[in-house]
Homo-oligomer: A and B are copies of this chain.
Amino acid sequence: MTNDLVNRLFKGEPRAVARAISKVEDASEDASELMKAVFPRTGNALVIGITGSPGAGKSSLVDKLALHYKEKGERIGIVAVDPSSPFSGGAILGDRIRMQTLGLDKNVFIRSMATRGNLGGLARTTVDAVSILDAAGFDKVIVETVGVGQDEVEIVKTADVTVVVLVPGMGDDIQAIKAGIMEIGDVFVINKADREGVIRTEKELEALLSLAHRQDLWNPPIVKTVATESKGIEDLSEAIEAYSKFVKEGGRSAERRVAIARWRLLELTRERLLARLLANNGTEKEIERLAEEIAEKKRDPYSAAEELIGRQ
């Protein structure tokens, strides 16, 4: 069963890819077996993280970039971390609409990642989905997230190249997130560059970048795009390529690779520890009882957690 799925996955069959991602999302029994088979086949795709505020036009930019790669004969996987999905099934509909825009074929795969209750952390499942697409032979894997949440920043930090998308006329915003973007952006995009204020935004960004001290001495380029009109996409693709080449030549620091591996290991361990506890007979019932007592202020969450762990 898993063997068959793995074989079809390695051939790049879209349905096998979709099913494999669902397995890691559901944290199902065989997800672990699956990922053990997948992991050794990873490391060939270029993983591009694209992040920015809502309203920055990330989706359009990602779609146009994917089309650009597709036209060059490459296979592209897109993993969109969709914050609205916890509340609805809207993500799946959204994927279908985007699939139609991009052309529904074997060479473009798109998937939105949703929050699924308390098990199966979003960051872990997203990173696993990227590994699956990588192992399935996609040349480029684009991870699209809003760039402001804790998990979302973690996700984007695991990419090979991180693209931060800004829009003109958000000066306050740049000020607010400057500490963050200085360190995670390898390439900066000013999208909607036909809008007023683009020069000011560029100047501000340049000033901020000049203050940053990157350990790897890379000087992050600023690319101007109008994604809806497909303008600047070639430039963006070249900037991504340039950073990728820079890293390959210099060698991405082993330290960074170990840091990512460490983060991934701890995420998974944390999740597994809770899953093991929950699998114990009667734990679910115990949790319900404790939650009710906390809600009624009959006890505090800390002593309740201790009691729960003590049961093991």
Query: Which residues of A are interface residues toward B (Cβ below 8 A)?
Result: 32, 35-36, 38-40, 42-43, 53-55, 57, 59, 83-88, 90, 115, 118, 122, 146-153, 170, 172-173, 176-180, 182-184, 254, 257-274, 276-277, 287-288, 290-292, 294-295, 297, 299-306, 308-309
Contacts and interface: CB of A to CB of B under 8 A. Distances in A.
Contact of A300 (B36, B257, B304): B36
15 contacts: A38-B300, A39-B300, A53-B55, A54-B148, A55-B55, A55-B173, A87-B182, A90-B179, A122-B150, A150-B150, A258-B288, A262-B288, A262-B291, A265-B308, A273-B309
Contact of A305 (B85, B87, B268): B268
Q: Identify the interface centre among A83, A150, A274: most chain B CB within 10 Å of its CB.
A: A150
A261 B179 contact: no
A255 to B, nearest CB: 9
A301 B261 contact: yes
A265 B290 contact: yes
Contact of A265 (B170, B260, B301): B301
A262 B274 contact: no
Contacts of A263: 118
A302 to B, nearest CB: 5
| Residue in A115, A264, A309 whose Cβ sees the most chain B Cβ within 10 Å | A264
A305 B272 contact: yes
Contact of A151 (B149, B262, B267): B149
Nearest to A37: B300
A272 B309 contact: yes
Contacts of A40: 297, 300
A308 B268 CA distance: 10
B179 A87 contact: yes
A88 B150 contact: no
Contacts of A179: 84-85, 87-88, 90
B118 A55 contact: no
B90 A302 contact: no
Contacts of A43: 297
Contacts of A38: 300
A177 B83 contact: yes
B295 A176 contact: no
A177 B266 contact: no
Given A57-B172, A151-B151, A292 B180 contact: no
A39 B301 contact: yes
B266 A118 contact: yes
| Top 5 A-B residue pairs of the complex, sorted by shortest distance between their CB atoms | A149-B149, A39-B300, A261-B294, A262-B291, A88-B179
